[in-house]
Every structure is written in C-alpha cells, then in structure tokens.
C-alpha cells in the first residue's frame, strides 16, 4: 500500500527516477482510454503530460497476496488542469506487483474511469 502512495507522489511531482525504481523493466500500462504503454512510454507520458496533475489520492484499496505477487485494487481520485481548465476524475485501478529479491516492482497497471 505504501508503494501505491509513493507512485502517486512521484507522478504528481514528475519524479521519473522514483517511478523508474517502482516499475519492472517489462511493465505494461493500460490507460483510461484503452491505450497500452510500455515502461518507457509510460515514463515519457509522466515526464511531459498533456495535463497538469495536482493531486492523486487512493481509497478503498484491497490487496490479495500470492507467492511473490500482490494484486492491489482500489479507487483513485485525481485533480489537475488540462488546457488551463480544472478537471477532476475518479477511477478504478488494478496494479500487479512482483517481488524480485528484496524489492517489490509493479509489472502491470490498469486504470478505468468511473462515470459520474
């Protein structure tokens, strides 16, 4: 759960180095529009986003732990600006974390908007 919070903070602050350390080399991301990104594409989208992210907060998180794998699901709320106009989103996410040696890395992430 702490890694999920670190991810949010790194994304808000565009901390690519921190995100790089949280993501597996073969990381895949399914975005809210259905697009698929690999690790480098995801990091590029955080480095130069079309929107200015101000806050991301997770809620209602649940974790299922298996042998060396943790699946985290929850709801996120984000606020920011797009083309100078404020926006607010709420969505569901599922992140799959794998344990490599002594560290946990996110191998896959999927995000879906919740309609208002």
Position 107 scores a pLDDT of: 98
The answer on pLDDT for 116 being more than 80 is no
Alpha-carbon torsion, ordered 72, 75, 24, 43, to 10 deg:
180
CB of 32 closer than 8 Å to CB of 113: yes
Domain range for 93:
2-113
Tens-place pLDDT, residues 30-88: 999 999 999 999 999 999 888 899 999 999 999 999 999 999 999 999 999 998 899 99
The pLDDT assigned to 49 comes to 84
Whole-number pLDDT of residue 53:
92
Number of domains in the chain: 1
Answer for the pair 76, 60: CB distance below 8 angstroms, yes or no.
Answer: no
Residue 29: how many other CB atoms lie within 10 Å: 20
């Amino acid at each position: 759960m702490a890694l999920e919070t670190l991810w949010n903070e790194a994304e808000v602050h565009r901390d690519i180095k921190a995100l790089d350390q949280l993501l597996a080399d073969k990381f895949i991301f399914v975005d809210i529009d259905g697009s698929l990104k690999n690790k480098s594409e995801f990091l590029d989208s955080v480095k130069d986003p079309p929107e200015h992210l101000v806050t991301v907060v997770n809620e209602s998180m649940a974790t299922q732990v298996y042998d060396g794998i943790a699946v985290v699901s929850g709801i996120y709320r984000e606020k920011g600006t797009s083309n100078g106009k404020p926006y607010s989103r709420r969505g569901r996410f599922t992140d799959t974390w794998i344990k490599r040696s002594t560290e946990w890395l996110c191998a896959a992430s999927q995000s879906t908007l919740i309609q208002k």
